[in-house]
Structure 1
Amino acid sequence: MAFSLPPVKVIMKRWKPSLEDQIIEQTNGEFFYRPSKMAAAIPCKVIKEDDSFDTLIDSFNHHDAVVILDNIGLPAGCITAPQMVDFLYNAFKQLEAFYEAVIQTTDASITVIDDLARVRTWTEGAEKLFSVKKQDIIGQHISEFFDPNKLEILQTLDNGKRITGQYHRPRSDLFVLINSNPIYYNNRIIGAVVSETDVTNQVVLNEKLFNMSAEMHRLEQEVAKYKDSTDPFHSIKGKSASIQRTVHLARKVCSVKSTVLILGESGVGKEVFAKAIHEASEEPKAPFISINCGAIPASLFESELLGYERGAFSGADIKGKKGKIELAKGGTLFLDEVGEMPLEMQVKLLRVLQERKYYRVGGEKEIIADFRVIAATNRDLHELMQEGRFREDLYYRLNVVSLHIPPLRERHEDIIELTHFFLNDFSRRYQRPIYEFSPDVMQELLRYHWPGNIRELRNMTERLVVFATDGVIKKDYLPFSAGSLSLENSGMISSNTPEERENTILTLQEEMDQHEKKVIERALKIVDGNKMECAKHLGITRATLYNRLKRLGID
């Protein structure tokens, strides 16, 4: 608050009463105050200067004067009822001055109503936003000017509902972002306050962009029917500068067959880039062999990568088996999640890359290695090297050319195109004629930070189409919308006080790890510990989930 009631000793310091100017008498342990020498003595209530302001106020219920004792029990002065009235009046006027200054300073639309829903405060911002003059609405019931069913402030007044950053449409031509809080006094709601920020222009602009993007996507699909779409990079969606730079670099890589290391968070489309580079570099029938280095147990990795001869070990196929390297002959071997490769296999892979030849497990015949390597990881390989979990020589062998794919949160302008692409795909697949998202749903999608990147966006779009049985996608279908469980209730953010959270400084990685751990733990709880189902809901592979569980120390 800008103004608060002080303890008694602070009031005494402000008034600085002189005992010489006050006649205070003590008789039989009781104190009396005389306004003048000729005036009658007034019985006094005695309190201490350390007592609260409430104690001082209560003292005037049965006395016209109050004597204040200092910390050694001597009278420090006397306060009479008229003086108390004067002090309270000045305190009220000061509080009113603070209040008026705050109201006049803000440009926002702020409305305050009392317990009878009568308007008590109506700022200039409210006048501009709603075209209602202050002199016309002050003192009037707010429902005389607005539809009661569309007034969030009335819900706040009735049931104490608090609102933070919620989109609202009080009129057909107006979109606002509102915050609303009840006003409590003595554990009773005596009013409500709401602040509203006009976001109509942003919503209208988004709707125009949405419609333009939908039309552009439709035209692109029509054009695609009449041209030879042999460009392997055609499947990579997005017009943002960051993704276009990455595509431009990837196209340059296609002119040679150098080893490529693709870096980026889970779900950004590393394998899509790898396939595009492969298709643009190799012959049409050249194989593209993918191996997830985090999904294969260390004990089986060597046989998966190099293959094995018949009888090489107990339980092996009697005919033997070709390894991934052999299957990739004349084409590309894609090492996904290469940061999870067992350390002992890193040595053997390095030898194959250096010597370009190898032996199957249990074999004696030397095999020539003829393949191109494209590796991908969402891990920090420099950090793994410092921890001794990734070989430095292998890193430099793989990192001939590196591509960094930006996360979706750094290319929000691509969300509209991507959602339309996925929407068209799933609406056809599930035979649901849904052609667009409503502006409020798109606003939520644009505001979300997308930790699972494009994979999460794709899964989210599928979820919306599946739920839209009536052909209408609603904001309530989004798990992160205002209508869904809050982050705090879901356990995704700490329940510490704001002050404690504010004073706790963590590194960015620590903050991200904490958030990621809580998301995964909550997801596991929902699916009763089923890791396959958990990975599906999170929009990541099961191997990636196992890696995250291990890194974050989740049992």
Structure 2
Amino acid sequence: MLFSIQSIKELIESEPAKSTVAKNKIYKQRGTFYLDHGQTPILCETVDADASVEQVLSAFQKAPAVAVLEKNGVVSGSITAPQLMECLYAAYQHLQAFYQTVIQTTDASVTVIDREKRVRTWTKGAERIFSLTEAEVLGQPITQFFEPNKLEILHTLYEGKRINSHFHQPRADLFVLINSNPVLYNNRIIGAVVSETDVTNQVMLNDKLFTMSTEVHRLEQEVAKYKHSTDPFQAIKGNSASLQQTVQLAKKVCSVKSTVLILGESGVGKEVFAKAIHEASESPDAPFISINCGAIPASLFESELFGYERGAFSGADHKGKKGKIELAKGGTLFLDEAGEMPLDMQVKLLRVLQERTYYRVGGEKECKADFRLLAATNQDLPALIKKGEFREDLYYRLNVVSLHIPPLRERKEDIVELMHHFLNEFSVRYQRPIQQLSPEVMQALFQHDWPGNIRELRNVMERLVVFATDGVIKKEYLPFYESTHLQEQAADRTEEIDETILPLQYEMERHEKKVLERALRLSNGNKLECAEKLGITRATLYNRLKRLGMN
């Protein structure tokens, strides 16, 4: 009740009011209520029981006392102006007591400033983090102790910027996570509140872990040169639940010779899975033959797959040539990008899988097909079947067992292990040891969507090692950071140059759309997180997206 007095009835029935208000006696004379006050009664203005305190204050402008009427017309209480002041002051003191207890109890650093940037609250956590006592800071401008350009709370104060778990470095030796919100009164910012959680130790530990992990990876590679791995799946990096589930399913098919269809976006590591299945299933000397169905012209596909006899066609090798099926004899044939296979070749491959025999181009001798088939694609084969671009019977031949490799954006917990693995690989290759990886880089890596998956991550890690000539990896070296920065600069320049004046409603909607697009991008499309960052409910976010045509 003390935290949200909504009606006059709640106020006069509250604990601070009971001792004084209960003594009031009301009587009615000729339709008017009076407060019994000796020889001189006090006129009472009447208000409903659910009237707000603001409405009661307006009533006091008409009379020195207020009577509270229930719906049945019965007076349930009354209060005079001095009693109201006393009750409100008591409620304010109670609220202050709760507020001070909360502030003293929390371990976090909490700072509150007013409109003039003066510090109004400075907790013990803030004293511990910033080594400044409450006596030194309270009532003083916060800019007196910190550089203004390093104070996120000022952005909140002046721009209404809301921050959630934002990484910040206010000093060279201090790293914190920030939550910040403006203090609003009558839709006007009158102050700002910021809480900081000290993560300096975690950052330092991360740096040490990175250095030690790099050394461990180097030693593992050295050991691997002299010790043959008994588990081919060790080459697949990552411990996320979704990836490990796929790995366990892949291990189950290693004991049989069934055809396996590996599904996943480009760059997720489909060929790595295929090689692991092959190595776990076949003898060490069994061949692993890979053919990319999207890289071979349709006219040459048949000869590449089946081989040809000498003189089979103009320009053919006079000795003839073995096809991929023959080269894969006793081992594994891996069809990469199987969805790109020409339709006429799909028919011929289906016959090979059914009959286990084939003919070379230009040959008359029947050859036996002795291989295990693994196929991979990043396309939606059922959709291609509906379009008539892929044979349904071949699809069922390939899809005996299917493995779906999750994209990197769905298993971001694997980024750290993959990152360390690739950084170590390239730092050893280029003889360029990495000494430092800033927390900003780590944050940017986790926020990126990775449309190119592991292949993109590997390329980014190589780029970072190439640019880190001093052994320090900086955020500016990230390719997507540079792109985002240029886009924001271009947008700013466009807004500066554009002098066209459009209707206000249109301009406001256009600006709102830009804000929502940016918030969604920074939240990786997570609408709940986006709504929290914007300080609105998820329902409000959905309504605005619908209104702006952003569904």
In the superposition, the TM-score normalised over structure 2's length comes to: 0.65
Between 1:9-18 and 1:147-156, the stretch displaced more is: 9-18
CA shift digits 1:363-405 (9 cap, x unpaired): 98744324332234679999x9xxx978897368557xx8979
Of 324, 328, 332, 2:325 maps to 328
Matched-pair contact (CA < 8 Å) for 1:309–1:319:
no
**Closer, same or farther in 2 for the Cα pair 1:480/1:352, shift >3 Å?**
same
Shift of 1:222: 8.6
String of CA shifts for 1:18-37, please: whole Å, max 9, x gaps. Answer: 8982234456xxx4533424
The equivalent of 1:122 in structure 2 is 122
Q: What residue number does 1:48 align with?
A: 48
Aligned AA (1:39): T
Task: Render the CA deviation track for 1:70-110: whole Å, top value 9, x for unaligned.
Answer: 33556554321022112212321232233233323322111
Query: Which deviates further from its counterpart, 10-19 or 64-73?
Result: 10-19
Q: 1:492 aligns with which of 499, 502, 525?
A: 525
CA distance in 2, matches of 1:7, 1:202: 49
* CA displacement, residues 215-254 of structure 1 (integer Å, 9 cap, x when unaligned): 5566778999x98999997994748699999999999999
Contact 1:117 1:141 in 2 (8 A): yes
Whole-angstrom distance in 2 between the partners of 1:262 and 1:421: 32
Return the offset for 1:126.
2.0
Contact 2:161 2:182 in 1 (8 A): yes
Q: What is the letter of the counterpart of residue 421 of structure 2? A: L
8 A Cα contact 1:412 1:446, kept in partner: yes
Residue from 413, 418, 421 that aligns with 1:415: 418
CA displacement 1:490-543 (0-9 Å, x = unmatched): 782448966864999xxxxxxxxxxxxxxxxx9xxxxxxxxxxxxxxxxxxxxx
List aligned pairs for 1:154-169, cutoff 5 A.
Answer: 154-169=154-169
- Say if 2:19 is the partner of 1:22: no
Note closer, same or farther for the CA distance 1:90–1:276 as it changes in structure 2 (3 Å cut): same
Over 3 Å counting, the alpha-carbon distance change for 1:503 and 1:261 in structure 2 is farther
Task: Give the Cα–Cα distance (whole angstroms) in 2 for the partners of residues 325 and 245 of structure 1.
Answer: 38
Give SS of 2:353's match: helix
Q: CA deviation at 1:464?
A: 5.7
2:196 maps to amino acid: E
Inter-partner Cα distance in structure 1 for 2:235 and 2:227: 16
Count of matched residue positions in the alignment of Structure 1 and Structure 2: 483
Q: Is the 8 A contact 1:423 1:462 kept in 2?
A: yes
Amino acid at match of 2:525: M
Q: 1:160-193: CA deviations, max 9, x gaps? A: 3322211112222221111112212233322211
Q: Does 1:34 align with 2:67?
A: no
What CA distance in whole angstroms lies between the structure 2 residues aligned with 1:11 and 1:300?
88
Is the Cα–Cα contact under 8 Å of residues 166 and 179 in structure 1 kept in the other structure?
yes
Aligned-partner Cα distance in 2 for 1:340–1:98: 68
How far is the alpha carbon of 1:38 from its aligned partner? 0.7
CA shift in 2, pair 1:309/1:336, >3 Å: closer
Structure 2 partner of 1:261: 260
Q: Which residue of 2 aligns with 1:95?
A: 95
Secondary structure in 1 matching 2:437: coil
Q: Which letter maps to 1:150?
A: K
Q: Check 1:278–1:188 CA distance in 2 against 1; reply closer, same or farther (3 A cut).
A: same
Deviation at 1:59, TM superposition (A): 2.7
Q: 1:409 touches 1:449 (CA, 8 Å); kept in 2?
A: no
Q: Which amino acid aligns with 1:394?
A: R
Over 3 Å counting, the alpha-carbon distance change for 1:7 and 1:45 in structure 2 is same
Question: Closer, same or farther in 2 for the Cα pair 1:46/1:350, shift >3 Å?
Answer: same
Task: Tell me how far apart the structure 2 counterparts of residues 447 and 441 of structure 1 sit (CA, whole Å).
Answer: 10
Q: Deviations over 1:398-432 (max 9, x none)?
A: 57xx897996535344133234157549989xxx9
For 1:123, the aligned partner's letter is T
Query: Is the 8 Å Cα contact of residues 335 and 376 (structure 2) preserved in structure 1?
Result: yes
SS at match of 1:411: helix
- Residues 377-416 of structure 1 correspond to what in structure 2 (within 5 A)? 394=397, 409-416=412-419
For residues 257 and 325 of structure 1, what CA distance do their matches in structure 2 show? Answer: 27
Distance 1:84 1:466, change over 3 A: farther
Instruction: Compute the displacement of 1:203 (Å).
Output: 0.6
In 2, Cα distance between equivalents of 1:114 and 1:480: 35
The CA deviation string for residues 452-487 of structure 1, in whole angstroms up to 9 with x for no partner, is 541231244467679989997543647589988844
Question: C-alpha separation between the residues in 1 aligned to 2:22 and 2:239?
Answer: 75
Distance 1:296 1:8, change over 3 A: farther
Q: Aligned partners of 1:55, 1:342: CA distance in 2, in Å?
A: 79
- How has the CA–CA distance of structure 1 residues 304 and 123 changed in structure 2, closer, same or farther, with 3 Å as cutoff? farther
User: Is the 8 Å Cα contact of residues 176 and 198 (structure 1) preserved in structure 2?
Assistant: yes
Q: Tell me the secondary structure at the aligned position of residue 520 of structure 2.
A: coil
Alignment of 1:433-444 (within 5 A): 437-444=437-444
Identical residues among aligned pairs (%): 46
Say which SS state the counterpart of residue 374 (structure 1) adopts: strand
Q: Work out the CA distance in 1 between the residues paired with 2:370 and 2:207.
A: 52
Query: Is the Cα–Cα contact under 8 Å of residues 163 and 179 in structure 2 kept in the other structure?
Result: yes
- 1:239-258 equivalences under 5 Å are 258=257
Structure 1 residue 302 displacement after superposition: 9.8
8 Å contact kept, 1:306–1:361: no
Q: Pairwise mapping of residues 468-487 of structure 1 onto structure 2 (< 5 A)?
A: 474-475=474-475, 477=478, 479=480, 486-487=518-519
Alpha-carbon distance change, 170 to 446 in structure 1, aligned in 2, over 3 angstroms: same
Superposition CA RMSD, Å: 5.8
Give the equivalent residue in structure 1 for 2:355. Answer: 355
Are the equivalent residues in 1 in contact too, given 2:303–2:360 (CA < 8 A)?
A: no
**Where does 1:507-546 land on structure 2 (aligned, <5 Å)?**
none
- Give the partner amino acid of 2:40: A
Deviates more, 1:451-460 or 1:354-363: 354-363
Change (3 A) 1:475 1:487: farther
For structure 2, list consecutive stretches of 5 or more residues without a partner in the other structure: 385-390, 489-516, 542-549
Q: Which residue of 2 aligns with 1:517?
A: none
Q: SS of 2:195's equivalent?
A: strand
Distance 1:360 1:328, change over 3 A: closer
C-alpha distance in 2 between matches for 1:262 and 1:10: 69
The CA deviation at 1:196 is 0.8
